[in-house]
C-alpha cells in the first residue's frame, strides 16, 4: 500500500470556556461554515429543510444553557469567534438529536441513514505486549466533514485530547489526564426520537472526558434519558473496559471476553430492537472480524498488530478499513476518516487522517500541568 503523510490539525484550547470557544471559532471559521452547509445538505437529503433544522437547533440552546452552562458558553465563543450564528453552532452540536427530532413518525425514522459507522475495540493489559490497556477505533463518516484534534486545558477539570468536528465542543474519541478514554459507534433502535429534547450526546461526551473516575464517565452517559441511541466504549488506565449500548431509556453493558472487547453498529445485548444492520449489513461482518484479528494469535498484541487489524480489507470497500463505495450512492461518501489507537497509560491518541491503509499514525498526547 502507498503510505502518505496527511496529518490532522491540532489546536490547544485553553483558558475559560469562552476563551476556548473563541480560539476554536477563529481558527476554524471557514471549516465551521462548511460543516453547517454539509449537514444542512445531509438533512435536506432526509427531507429536513434548513428552516426546520434551525428551528430545532434553537430549541436546544436553552436546554444546553440550563444543563451544561460551561458547554453553552463555549458554543457561544465558537459563534463569536467564527461569525457563524449560534443557532448553526447548536445545529452541529445537536446533529444526532435534530435528525430524529424532525420526524414524528416512527416508520420515517427507521428509514434514515444518519449514523456514523465505525468499528471499535478495547484491549486489557493482559493481551498487549506492553502490558497496557488500549482502546481505539476506525471512525467512518462523511468524507468532506472537517475535523481536528483538540488539546483541551482546563483549570477545574482534567485536561484531555480528543477528535472533534469543527464547530462541536464535545470530542468523540479521546483520553484525559486521568487515563479515562472513549470511542464512539453509531447505533439505531426503534425507540429513537420518541423524546427529542434531551441532553445532546456531544454534551455528554465532554462530561465523559471531564470525568475523574470511570463511574463518573458512565454516569454522564446514563443518568438522564437520551433522544437517540449510541454505542460508547470506555476504558481506564486502571485496566477496566466497558461497552455501553445506549438507547433512549435503557442500555446494555458489555465487558471484555478473554481481554478483548469489540463493537460495530448493531446491538449485541438483549435490550432494544437494533435497526442499523438493515442499512449497514457489513456491521455484522466487521465486529466479529476485528475480534478474530485481535484474538487469533499465539502472542500478545503489539501496536503494529493493532494497526494491521485496523487496516483489514476483507469485504472491501465496506471493510474494517472502509473506503468509498461508488456502487451505493447513499453510502459513497462514507469512509474511514480517522483511525485511532489510544494508550490509556500514556494518555495519548495515535491517529490517522484518512484510511489507515494509506495514512500514517501521529501521536497527540494530553498536555501536562
Q: Which residues of this chain interact with Zn ion, rule CB under 5 A?
A: 321, 355, 357
Q: Is 340 or 357 the residue whose CB approaches Zn ion more closely?
A: 357
CA–CA distance, 295 with 275 (Å, rounded to integer):
28
Grid cell for residue 248: 433512549
H-helix or E-strand spanning residue 17: helix 17-27
Min dist CB 277 to Zn ion, Å, is: 22
Min dist CB 92 to Zn ion, Å, is: 28
Q: Is 8 or 357 the residue whose CB approaches Zn ion more closely?
A: 357
For 141, the 3-state DSSP assignment is: strand
- Angstrom distances, CA of residue 278 to CA of 227, 296, 310, 315, 329: 21, 29, 24, 17, 16
Q: Is 139 or 201 the residue whose CB approaches Zn ion more closely?
A: 139
Q: Is 245 or 287 the residue whose CB approaches Zn ion more closely?
A: 287
Q: Is 14 or 324 the residue whose CB approaches Zn ion more closely?
A: 324
Grid cell for residue 84: 457563524
Residue 335 sits at φ, ψ, to 5 deg, of -155, 170
Min dist CB 84 to Zn ion, Å, is: 33
Min dist CB 323 to Zn ion, Å, is: 6
**Concatenated DSSP letters of 302-339:** PHHHHHHHHT--TTTTSSSS----TT-TTTTTEEEEEE
Rg (CA), the chain: 19
Min dist CB 312 to Zn ion, Å, is: 8
Min dist CB 355 to Zn ion, Å, is: 4
Q: Is 133 or 355 the residue whose CB approaches Zn ion more closely?
A: 355
Residue 351 sits at φ, ψ, to 5 deg, of -140, 150
Grid cell for residue 171: 470530542
Amino acid at each position: 500500500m502507498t503510505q502518505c503523510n496527511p496529518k490532522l490539525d491540532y489546536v490547544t484550547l485553553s483558558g475559560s470556556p469562552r476563551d476556548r470557544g473563541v480560539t476554536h471559532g477563529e481558527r476554524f471559521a471557514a471549516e465551521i461554515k462548511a460543516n453547517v452547509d454539509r449537514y444542512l445538505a445531509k438533512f435536506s437529503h432526509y427531507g429536513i429543510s434548513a428552516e426546520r433544522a434551525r428551528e430545532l437547533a434553537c430549541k436546544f440552546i436553552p436546554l444546553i444553557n440550563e444543563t451544561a452552562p460551561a458547554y453553552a458558553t463555549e458554543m457561544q465563543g465558537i459563534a463569536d469567534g467564527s461569525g457563524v450564528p449560534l443557532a448553526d453552532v447548536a445545529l452541529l452540536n445537536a446533529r444526532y438529536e435534530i435528525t430524529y427530532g424532525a420526524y414524528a413518525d416512527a416508520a420515517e425514522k427507521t428509514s434514515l441513514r444518519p449514523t456514523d459507522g465505525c468499528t471499535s475495540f478495547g484491549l486489557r493489559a493482559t493481551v498487549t505486549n506492553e502490558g497496557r490497556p488500549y482502546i481505539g477505533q476506525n471512525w467512518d463518516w462523511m468524507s468532506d466533514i472537517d475535523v481536528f484534534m483538540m488539546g483541551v486545558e482546563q483549570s477545574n477539570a482534567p485536561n484531555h485530547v480528543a477528535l472533534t468536528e469543527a464547530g462541536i465542543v464535545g470530542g468523540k474519541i479521546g483520553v484525559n489526564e486521568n487515563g479515562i478514554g472513549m470511542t464512539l459507534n453509531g447505533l439505531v433502535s426503534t425507540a429513537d426520537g420518541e423524546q427529542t429534547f434531551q441532553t445532546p450526546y456531544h454534551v455528554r461526551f465532554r462530561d465523559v472526558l471531564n470525568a475523574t473516575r470511570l463511574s463518573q464517565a458512565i454516569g454522564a452517559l446514563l443518568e438522564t434519558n437520551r433522544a437517540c441511541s449510541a454505542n460508547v466504549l470506555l476504558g481506564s488506565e486502571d485496566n477496566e473496559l466497558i461497552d455501553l449500548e445506549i438507547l433512549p431509556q435503557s442500555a446494555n453493558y458489555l465487558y471484555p471476553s478473554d481481554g478483548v472487547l469489540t463493537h460495530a453498529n448493531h446491538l449485541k445485548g438483549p435490550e432494544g430492537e437494533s435497526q442499523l444492520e438493515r442499512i449497514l449489513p457489513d456491521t455484522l461482518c466487521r465486529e466479529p472480524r476485528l475480534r478474530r484479528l485481535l484474538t487469533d494469535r499465539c502472542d500478545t498484541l503489539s501496536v503494529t498488530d493493532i494497526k494491521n487489524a485496523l487496516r483489514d480489507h476483507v469485504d472491501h470497500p465496506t471493510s474494517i478499513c472502509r473506503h468509498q463505495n461508488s456502487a451505493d450512492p447513499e453510502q459513497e461518501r462514507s469512509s474511514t476518516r480517522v483511525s485511532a489507537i489510544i494508550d490509556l497509560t500514556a494518555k495519548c491518541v495515535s491517529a490517522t487522517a484518512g484510511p489507515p491503509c494509506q495514512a500514517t499514525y501521529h501521536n497527540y498526547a494530553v498536555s501536562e500541568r
